């Protein structure tokens, strides 16, 4: 049923990202998770934080106070010790354990900031998700993974380089507010990487199917399903999804390699029947 609730969330005009993230967690790993209870806990955190925010201060000072409350007072932190752990991608676990990765900590930060009247939004930099706060002059950039520090442009350059190795020019589009669906897709992409990296193929299949709900026009999800089913040993499904990928994107950069791969898959499958 939770998978249907997640699908229903995607149909709303305004997607509530924390609620959708909690529904994802319930779909993938926590069937008994009480979404309403965790939403109430976010509300309680914002009520606690209200005492730390003086709205007569500048926006920058308010942001600094919020970061101090979340990361010094409450002890939220980036999980540097075990970054790939899939628990870092489940918002309920982030709330419980007070540790996570950039995108989940950013979701929490944005939700609390918004409840406290700070106009926060997500920024999907390559390799590292951060938070933007609208201000009268220049917007403020915040890194929840590194204790909510305020970032300058040079800091963003360093984050991208350290995360991806990219050393080219910055693209203005990277700093645009991330849509709700792009945030959910990025969360799912992290989980896909975690499960594929650990060989948890069944969980990876579920994650990619959810990605197809969020991004129905992205053909790469068909390809990824084919690869995962192949590693799972399900050769008919692997051939089906890889063939669907080629039909929808015949000129893909990896098309020829996959065409050759499908032949190999079929060669393995036929003797088994």
Confidence of residue 258 (pLDDT cuts 50, 70, 90): confident
Separation of alpha carbons 67 and 259, rounded Å? 51
Separation of alpha carbons 35 and 19, rounded Å? 7
Q: Which of 93, 132, 88, 129 is nearest to 110 (CA)?
A: 132
Q: Which of 225, 210, 221 is nearest to 21 (CA)?
A: 210
Higher-scoring residue by pLDDT: 262, 69: 69
| Residues of the chain above pLDDT 90, percent | 79
178: helix, coil or strand? coil
Residue range 163-186: mean pLDDT, rounded: 95
Higher-scoring residue by pLDDT: 153, 268: 153
Confidence of residue 268 (pLDDT cuts 50, 70, 90): low
Separation of alpha carbons 103 and 109, rounded Å? 10
CB count within 10 Å of CB 162 equals 11
Separation of alpha carbons 135 and 133, rounded Å? 6
Confidence of residue 273 (pLDDT cuts 50, 70, 90): very low
pLDDT of residue 52: 85
Separation of alpha carbons 138 and 147, rounded Å? 21
CB count within 10 Å of CB 271 equals 6
First to last CA, the chain: 35
Confidence of residue 192 (pLDDT cuts 50, 70, 90): very high
pLDDT of residue 272: 43
Q: How far is CA 198 from the centre of its chain?
A: 18
Confidence of residue 11 (pLDDT cuts 50, 70, 90): low
- For the stretch 52-81, pLDDT in tens is 888 889 999 999 999 999 999 999 999 999
Q: Which of 63, 252, 104 is nearest to 188 (CA)?
A: 104
pLDDT of residue 240: 92
Indicate whether 221 pLDDT > 90. Answer: yes
- For the stretch 36-45, pLDDT in tens is 999 999 999 9
HSE, CB side, 13 Å, CA atoms: give it for residue 173. 1
Separation of alpha carbons 208 and 180, rounded Å? 18
pLDDT of residue 263: 72
Separation of alpha carbons 187 and 24, rounded Å? 9
Separation of alpha carbons 245 and 63, rounded Å? 45
Indicate whether 2 pLDDT > 80. Answer: no
Separation of alpha carbons 252 and 233, rounded Å? 25
Separation of alpha carbons 166 and 175, rounded Å? 16
Residue range 152-162: mean pLDDT, rounded: 96
């Amino acid at each position: 049923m939770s998978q249907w609730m997640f699908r229903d969330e995607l149909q709303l005009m305004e997607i509530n990202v924390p609620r959708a993230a909690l529904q994802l967690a319930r779909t993938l790993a926590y069937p008994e998770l009480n979404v309403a209870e965790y939403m109430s806990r976010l509300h309680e955190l914002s009520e606690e934080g209200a005492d730390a925010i003086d709205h007569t201060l500048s926006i920058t000072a308010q942001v600094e106070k919020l970061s101090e409350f979340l990361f010094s007072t409450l002890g939220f932190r980036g999980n540097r010790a075990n970054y790939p752990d899939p628990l870092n991608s489940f918002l309920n676990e982030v709330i419980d354990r007070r540790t996570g990765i950039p995108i989940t900590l950013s979701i929490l930060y944005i939700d609390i900031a918004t409840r406290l009247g700070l106009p926060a939004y997500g920024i999907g930099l390559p390799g590292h998700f951060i938070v933007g706060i609208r201000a009268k002059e220049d917007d403020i950039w915040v890194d929840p993974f590194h204790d909510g520090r305020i970032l300058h442009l040079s800091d963003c350059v360093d984050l991208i380089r350290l995360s991806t190795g990219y050393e080219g020019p910055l693209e203005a589009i990277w700093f645009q507010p991330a849509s709700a669906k792009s945030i959910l897709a990025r969360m799912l992409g992290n989980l896909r990487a975690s499960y594929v990296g650990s060989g948890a193929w069944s969980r990876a299949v579920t994650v990619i199917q959810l990605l197809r709900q969020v991004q129905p026009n992205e053909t790469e999800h068909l390809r990824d399903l084919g690869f995962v089913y192949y590693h799972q040993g399900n050769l008919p499904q692997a051939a089906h999804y890889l063939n669907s990928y080629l039909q929808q994107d015949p000129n893909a950069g990896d098309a020829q390699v996959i065409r050759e791969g499908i032949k190999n898959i079929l060669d393995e499958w036929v003797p088994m029947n």
